Each structure stands twice: as C-alpha cells, then as structure tokens.
Amino acid sequence: MQVRTTRCLKIRLAGYHPDQTHASANIMTQVDFYTGVNDKLHTVCNLSQKAVQNGLRVLVHTPHESTLEALDELLWTYPATSFLPHCRNNTENSSRMPIILSHQDEIFPHHEVLISLHSTCLPFFSRFKRVIEIVSQDTEDARLGRIRFCFYRDHGYTIRHVDLSRSSKNST
C-alpha cells in the first residue's frame, strides 16, 4: 500500500488579502476542485452548462489566448444539439451573457462563478461567490492543483472535492 502525503507550501499571492471576500456579501468564497479530469475544456463546458441551467453566470479565465480560442470554438457546438451562449470579456454584450471568457482581464461584469484553468490561484478569486478549479490527470497539473488546494485550505476557505477519475465517462 502506497501512502501519499501532500506537502503544503506557504505561498503568498500578490493582491490577495485573507479578509477579502467576494463583492456582494460578507461570505467567504466557496471553492470546488474537480480532479482526475480527462479533458479540461469539456469539463468547463459541462460545469458552465449546469451553472447556467441553475441561473448562475460564469466567468472562465484561461492562462493563454490559444486556450480561450479553443474553448470559444467548443462552446459554439456544446452540447451537440445546441450551444452555450458566451462572449469574451469587455465586449458589448458581456454584461448580459451567461458565460464570459477571459485570459488577461481583472475587471468583470459579475462575480458569481469563476472557473479557473490556471496553474496558480488567481489574485482576484475572492471577489467571486464560487471558484471552480479543474485539475487533469497529468502529474504536473495534479502537483500544482495540490498546491492551490493547500493555499485555499490554509486560508480558511471551504473546499469541496469531486474526483472525476472514478467516473466511467469522466463528466460532471
């Protein structure tokens, strides 16, 4: 039997203040980790669709323009019989769209659900009611995910963990 330990590193996040909460109330951000994911972009689509069906607005923040473009394309054909309405941040319709895509901005028209595809915690995450971190089965991505998990836990955030590696079709 192999025992794995998680070593939490003390990291300081630029622009983060432990007493900072999301803009709409004095409630701490809920953090959800989806781990063991086969396809991050399809997982983003699944989670975005569920959030929109529940009347929530979503901001997906990607680390690169190329990731944003691939997600933009996928959202136009997801699900197969429809599409998920979305746009890029800072466009004319961004304040009305249920799903907003961004990769550089830090000012957004809402602070409901943040889906992060970054390997580090975003400095503005605590403005949102809910943050979703997606971690693939890749060894390095899993290691970086554990560091983010420790950061949130060590700062007192409530964390919900969903292990998708046990799911037969690895969907949410």
Label residue 16 exposed, middle or buried (CB < 10 Å: 0-12, 13-18, 19+): middle
Residue 85: is the preceding peptide bond cis (ω within 30°)? no
- What tens digit of pLDDT does each residue of 66-87 get? 999 999 999 998 888 888 899 9
In angstroms, the CA 66 to CA 17 distance is 31
Triad 111, 100, 62: Cα angle to 5°: 95
Number of domains observed in the structure of the chain: 1
Residue 152 is assigned to a structural domain of this protein = yes
- Please state, in angstroms and as integers, the Cα–Cα distance from residue 48 to each residue in 54, 120, 132, 156, following that order: 10, 21, 10, 26
Residue 28 is assigned to a structural domain of this protein = no
- Please state, in angstroms and as integers, the Cα–Cα distance from residue 72 to each residue in 62, 99, 164, following that order: 11, 10, 23
Residue 68 is assigned to a structural domain of this protein = yes
Residue 133 is assigned to a structural domain of this protein = yes
Residue 49 is assigned to a structural domain of this protein = yes
Q: What is the residue range of 110's domain?
A: 33-166
Residue 109 is assigned to a structural domain of this protein = yes
- What tens digit of pLDDT does each residue of 126-172 get? 999 999 999 999 999 999 999 999 999 999 999 999 999 987 555 55
Residue 18 is assigned to a structural domain of this protein = no
Residue 117 is assigned to a structural domain of this protein = yes
Chain Cα centroid distance, residue 162? 13
Label residue 4 exposed, middle or buried (CB < 10 Å: 0-12, 13-18, 19+): exposed
- What tens digit of pLDDT does each residue of 106-135 get? 889 999 999 999 999 999 999 999 999 999
CATH code assigned at 120: 3.40.50.10110
Average pLDDT over every residue of 12-31: 58
